[in-house]
Every structure is written in C-alpha cells, then in structure tokens.
Amino acid sequence: MKNVVKIIGAGLAGCEAALFLADHGVKTILYDTKPDHFSPAHKSPNLAELVCSNSLRSAEPTSAVGLLKQEMLMLGSKFMDCALKTKVPAGKALAVNRDAFSLCLTKAIQSHPNIEFKTEEWKKIPDKGIVILATGPLTTPALLDSLSSVTTSEGLHFYDAISPVIETDTIDSANSYWKDRWDDQSKGDYLNCPLTKEEYDLFYDELIKAEQVPLHDFEEPRFFEGCLPIEVMAARGYKTLLFGPMKPVGLWQPGADQKPYAVVQLRKENSEGSALNIVGFQTKLSYPEQKRVLSLIPALKNANFLRFGSIHRNTFVDAPRVLDCFIRLKGRAHLFLAGQISGIEGYVESAATGLLVGFNVLRLLQKKNLVIPPPTTAMGSLITHLTNLETKDFQPSNVNFGLFPKLVERHTKKERKQKYAERAMTDLKRWLELLK
C-alpha cells in the first residue's frame, strides 16, 4: 500500500486511528498544533491528552461504556491498552494516571516506524488524499471556517445544549400521559408529566438553589436565548419556566378533573421510544443535582437517567445531515471525521470512533467494502446516533443503552444490562468472523 493517510489532530481519536493503521502497515502523518500551540483546554506537550477528568467511566462490562471498552479491546485498541497499563484504583470505574496514559500513547506514536508526527496547524481541509479529521471540540478557528465552507455553516455547531435522557420504562405511567399540545384526538408524540402548584413550587425552590457545574474560563456565560439552561430561566423569575418549557396550556389530560399548573414534556430519543429526552431541559446542574431536582417531578420520581444534561463549548457537525454511515463527509469519500467533532461525546467514544474510522480506512486501502458494526453493539449504537435522520435537533451523545435496539423480551433492569452486553458481544464476534 503506497498511500499515506493524513490524520489531523493527535488527540484521543487521532492517536487511536493512527496506531491502528500503522500497526496494519499503513503509513500515516499525524498533525497537531501541539506542542507549539495549545487550545484553551490543552496543557500537556504529550499527545492524547485527557483535558479534564482522569476517569474513563465504568469498567463494568454490563454498562454501555464498559461494553464499548470490551469491544475496543476486541479490535486491538491502543487507547485501551495504555489505559489498562496506567490505571489507578477507582472502584468500578477505569481511571488512569493521566500523564502516564498520555505518555504511553505518545511513545507508541513516536516510536512507530509507520507514523510521522508533525507539529502544524491545518487551516484548510485538504483537497487530496485520504484524510481523517480529528481536531476535537476545540478545533482551531481557521480550520473551522474551512469546515463550515464544505458543510455549510448550519452543519456546524459550537455549543452542546443537552437535555437529560430518561429510560421510558422507568417513568411512572400513572402520573404521565401521551398528548400533543391542543390535540385531543390522537395519542400524541409527547409524554406529559403534570405538576400541581404545590409540586411546581417545591421543584422551583430546589432548582434555584441547586449546585451548578462551574464554567471553564474559556466558556462565556452567554447562552443562546433559544436554549437557555432551565436554572438560568428559573433565576429570571418564578413564572419564566411556566411560559417556557413547562407551559401547561393545551396539555391538560382529557377527562382529568384538574388542569395541570405546569407540565414537563418528553419526546422520543430513538425510533423505538425506549428512551425519551426532556424537552427544553438543557442544564448545567451537577449530575447528582439533576437527579435530585428532576426526581421531584412526580412522574420522574424513580426515573433512570440514561444521559444527564449539559451545556458546554463544543464543536461538532450536524452528523445525520452531514456525514454518511462510515463517518465520512457526504460527497467527500476520502474525508473521514473521528472523535468529538463527528458528534459523539466522551473520551472513550472519541477513541472508539478513531478506531472505527481506522478500520474502514484500512479496508478502503485494501479495496474492500466499508463496514459498520451491528447496531446491537456499543460501537454500532454510536453510528446509529450519528446517522439517525429522524433527529431534528442533533446533539452529541455518550454511549448509552438508549441508543441500542430494544430487547424483545421484558427483563428486570439488572438483567436488561446483562442481556444487552451478551447480545453485543455475540454479534460483534460473529461480525468479525464474517469479515475475516
């Protein structure tokens, strides 16, 4: 194979892609602005830097992210190899010594005969050759301009505004009902969770004093009016939410003897409806506070949070409209995206997309057809998220079981996780066997 693959960005996704390709005999050139220039969050001269927490989240194979780790190991992940070599005690989570972890991957890159590392800021999307763009959530402005010119500026987003996602089966059906605003005829697409005045008062009082996640110093505390965090709306006054995402008009339940004082609406997150997102409830509350305060909504008393809400600076493409199912820019068969910029969220997920893209670039060079893992696997579920054209307001996502096709039989919550994991491992093994 004479082709040289250009990989822009030596973060988690870029390093994983480079090492996978290089181990399979492909020459790669890996570019990064570091160590000459650093983004506002990057500090270390080493590559594959963990910019914040040193936790790679759950190591339990029956959690979605734990399962993703198992799958990455099956594909020969160097990210996982270094993580396991540098892990520190963290209970059921996989946490690493961040410097040792980055050094492990940096050394693997530097010593690899098939990888050339260059310190250089790419300002323009290259026109020629196979390129993997893995410049992450803090891609430099010049390159973003270039990307927006090839995706159209609506295809690029600069802030996450994520509402929490809840497992449908854990919402109290006695305290909720399906109905669209002003529509009493059909069943409706929205699951409505009503509150009385007393319930709203309690919710409001707890919301305004709940603990928030502090902003990074490069994040301006300036939010788009269209997607304000619920706590910011609440701070503007007692009634702001009642005229915003908790507006009750047109939502009273047919046949009910009392009109609700406030209503929280949830909408399907996946086509099966096994996961629902809370409409307009983007928030910067800490995760424990989200659980505590949102559990005061009667229907959500025992809700299982598949994903918590967040708002932070991030750069990502409107994946369903901009990318094809192999995470290439539509209409540009040689330009792959990997990592956070492709529309996924999280360290492990970023590395996983780097691995998947590396896998397909290798197949492209070998003149084989490109492939995607089954949707029942954690890796496949990330692709489902990136390519779901039903998603109107696309937001990045961590891996979670809400992205997986629903299990056919009913199980307890604990059994369900086990079944998801077993099905994924069986399907991934079979898929890999078939590809051999």
Establish if 135 lies at the interface with ligand FAD (CB under 6 A): yes
**From candidates 6, 30, 31, 399, binder to ligand FAD by CB under 6 A:** 31
Tokens representing residue 279 in the block: 């409409």
State the pairing for strand pair 115-119/27-32.
Answer: parallel
CA separation for the pair 139, 37 (Å, rounded): 12
Long-range pairs of 197-202 with CB within 8 A, sequence gap ≥ 24: 197/261, 199/261, 199/262, 199/296, 199/297, 199/298, 200/242, 200/246, 200/261, 200/262, 202/296
Closest CA to 79 of 60, 96, 64, 67: 96
**Residue 237, marked binder:** no
Residue nearest to ligand FAD (CB): 11
**Residue 66, marked binder:** no
Burial of 8: CB neighbours in 10 Å, binned 0-12, 13-18, 19+: buried
CB of 412 to ligand FAD, least distance (A): 29
Span from 106-114, 321-329, 341-349, 370-378 in contact with ligand FAD (CB under 6 A): 341-349
Closest CA to 18 of 102, 97, 113, 92: 113
CA separation for the pair 68, 424 (Å, rounded): 9
- SS3 call for 217: coil
Establish if 66 lies at the interface with ligand FAD (CB under 6 A): no
Considering only residues 346-405, where is the footprint of ligand FAD by CB under 6 A? 346-347, 350
Nearer of residues 121 and 189 to ligand FAD, judged by Cβ = 121
Residues linked to residue 335 through DSSP beta bridges, in sequence order: 131
For the chain, the residue count is 436
Establish if 140 lies at the interface with ligand FAD (CB under 6 A): yes
Establish if 139 lies at the interface with ligand FAD (CB under 6 A): yes
Phi, psi of 19 (to 5 degrees): -70, -35
Establish if 51 lies at the interface with ligand FAD (CB under 6 A): yes
Sheet containing strand 27-32, edge to edge, reads 115-119, 27-32, 4-8, 131-133, 335-337
Span from 11-19, 177-185, 373-381, 386-394 in contact with ligand FAD (CB under 6 A): 11-19
CB of 47 to ligand FAD, least distance (A): 7
CA distances from 70 to 202, 356, 378, 379, 424 (A): 43, 14, 9, 10, 10
Query: Binding-site residue total for ligand FAD (CB under 6 A)?
Result: 34
Binding mask 202-241 for ligand FAD (x = CB under 6 A): --------------x-------------------------
Tokens representing residue 382 in the block: 């990330």
CB of 339 to ligand FAD, least distance (A): 2
Binding mask 300-339 for ligand FAD (x = CB under 6 A): ---------------------------------------x
DSSP state of 208: H
Establish if 9 lies at the interface with ligand FAD (CB under 6 A): yes
Span from 3-11, 207-215, 223-231, 325-333 in contact with ligand FAD (CB under 6 A): 3-11
Closest CA to 76 of 352, 420, 346, 349: 352
Establish if 343 lies at the interface with ligand FAD (CB under 6 A): no
CB of 218 to ligand FAD, least distance (A): 8
Nearer of residues 204 and 347 to ligand FAD, judged by Cβ = 347
**From candidates 106, 265, 274, 340, binder to ligand FAD by CB under 6 A:** 340
Q: Which residues bind ligand FAD (CB under 6 A)?
A: 8-14, 31-34, 39, 41-42, 51-53, 121-122, 134-140, 143, 216, 339-341, 346-347, 350
Binding residues: 9-14
Binding residues for FAD: 9-14
